[in-house]
Amino acid sequence: MTSSTTGTLARHASQERADSRGGDGHEPEPPRQSELIRALVAVAPGLALALAVAATAYVLTPWLQTAAPIPPIALALVIGIALNSVASLPLFQPGLAFAVKRVLRWAVALLGLRIALGEIAALGASTAVLVVVTMALTIASALLFARLLGQKVLYGALAGAATAVCGASAALATATVLPHYRGKDADTVFMVLAVNALSTVAMVIYPSLCTWLGFDAMTTGIMLGATIHDVAQVVGAGYSAGEVAGNTAVVVKLFRVFLLLPVVLAIGWLLSGPRVAAGTAARVPKPIFAVVFLALCVLNSVVSWLPAPPPLYPAVRALLIDLSSWGLLVAIAALGLGTSLTAFVSLGWRQMVTVTGATLVILVGVIGGLLVLR
């Protein structure tokens, strides 16, 4: 090999080393922030605000017990709504959304450690039949109300799925299987606001209604879990009525969540045709948190059947239950912080009548069924 060739190769190797280090020959700078750090920075303000509201409610609750027996969850909701003008700043939005979606779902999943399979079986087949029948009646009534009020039947489908299954999540999932029509996006946004508003009202009113009707704790839980739209408000209403009512409400509500996929596919099949429904099936949200909840129920049941629990299980279980309780409180605080009373007033009356009518149908249907079964 000639000296000129050797020199050329040496210069080429030197250039490659420089390129690998950066144009100036120095080592390349690592990224200033990783994706995880950026995400944490984005959610930190809103999450901290929700945590502050939750902690305030937790501290104030014992002081208010003598004047009014308000549970921490209800107090966190009220404080959050009062601070909505502050929480509406863009700085807080990512963290509040994270709390209402991610924190809530994992907190609900961890509730499985409080519940055994025996409690689920105790609800009986009659409860499952009642839930399925009232869900079907609710969807049918929403379609009817929409037609009577001169609205598109597709809007009725949105309202029916949202009120029958699981609120905003069901509305968004249903929107993916409906054919496009003028005003569809506005109707979907409206439905998310409407079911959130109605669920919040139900969270406050329904526990007192159950007391007035003379329902016991389990019946109260069934009523709340079978009628309130969103998971967050079911949790808030249920545990404000006690642990038994809360556990029962969560089980019944998650049964409705499990029915999201068949309901959305059925609506897509009927209103869009089989090809559209099949093509959009993958966009239906998968309730992974509900599966984790069920798995933890099974674990809790198996451990309870053992002669003695594993050494660390009781301590770990207690820690996770505490985390679940705080997660629920933070999520409800975030829900309140994101609730605008002004938005309630701005909802269109025809659309509101449809979704309110469907809400009353599922309420009356469930109460009527429980009174017959009692």
Q: Within the chain, where are the H helices?
A: 3-21, 35-64, 72-82, 84-87, 93-98, 104-110, 117-122, 124-148, 153-161, 168-177, 184-213, 217-227, 231-240, 243-258, 260-272, 274-279, 288-305, 313-337, 341-345, 349-373
Hey, what amino acid is at 87? A
- Which tokens go with 272? 């869009």
Domain chopping of the chain, boundaries: 115-328+344-373
Between the alpha carbon of residue 373 and those of residues 125, 212, 366, 369, 370, the distances in Å are 12, 18, 10, 6, 5
**pLDDT score at 286:** 59
**pLDDT score at 272:** 63
Between the alpha carbon of residue 271 and those of residues 8, 23, 284, 324, the distances in Å are 71, 60, 16, 40
Q: Profile the chain (374 residues) by mean pLDDT over runs of 10 residues.
A: 47 49 48 72 91 92 73 81 88 89 82 76 86 94 92 89 84 76 74 82 92 93 93 87 89 84 81 52 58 83 84 88 87 82 66 91 95 86
Look at residues 347, 333, 343 and name the one whose alpha carbon lies nearest to residue 82: 333
**pLDDT score at 295:** 86
CB 174 within 8 A of CB 264: yes
- Furthest CA-CA distance within the chain: 101
